[in-house]
Amino acid sequence: MAVVAALAVAGCGGSDTTDGVPSHSGNPSESRSAPPSGSPSGDHGPSVKPSVSAADGRDVGACADGDCEIAVAERVTIPFKGPAGPATLTVNEIGPNKVTYTVKSGNNRSQGGASGPGQGCVTVLRDHGSSNSCGRVGTTRPAAQPGAVVIQMAAGADGTALLHIVSG
């Protein structure tokens, strides 16, 4: 039940800010599109019906330990355990085949965004930096990396995004 990934012009952007240590590269992994997540933090619009299930549904609390798969359909801030302590991921904008987000961990801040069918971003957090990679994503969970937290956000055609957070 994955979203059909068609070739399309995609826009993605990301910026990495580190605390003086060069950012580390992360390889993009694949993901699948899925249903909405809970706990809105600003958008009071109607909830979108999910098209696919995520392992942890819409439970934002499932991400607290740094390992989850949830569906997101509205603006939300998700706290989780990062490599250097508490971290947050804020979904800034979400819509059909579009998602933008910001990750904060310690003194680091990273932004990602993608639009178009089958598009998404992967952010890799480490103790002293982060990296982003945006573009086409598929249907598999990202691999854990030692000493890092891998975040993958895949935009869905129905206005939802599938979020994976994987700790190494």
Domain region containing 145: 11-167
Identify whether 4 is part of a domain: no
Instruction: For residue range 43-102, list pLDDT tens digits in order.
Output: 334 444 545 579 999 999 999 999 999 999 999 999 999 998 999 999 999 999 999 999
Identify whether 100 is part of a domain: yes
Identify whether 146 is part of a domain: yes
Instruction: For residue range 92-128, list pLDDT tens digits in order.
Output: 999 999 999 999 998 889 999 999 999 999 999 998 8
What is the C-alpha separation between 25 and 21, in angstroms, rounded?
13
CB 58 within 8 A of CB 36: yes
**pTM metric for this prediction:** 0.71
Q: What is the largest CA-CA distance in the chain?
A: 43
What is the C-alpha separation between 58 and 140, in angstroms, rounded?
18
The number of residues in the chain equals 168
Q: In Å, what is the CA distance from 11 to each residue of 40, 76, 135, 136?
A: 25, 22, 8, 10
How many independent structural domains does the chain possess? 1
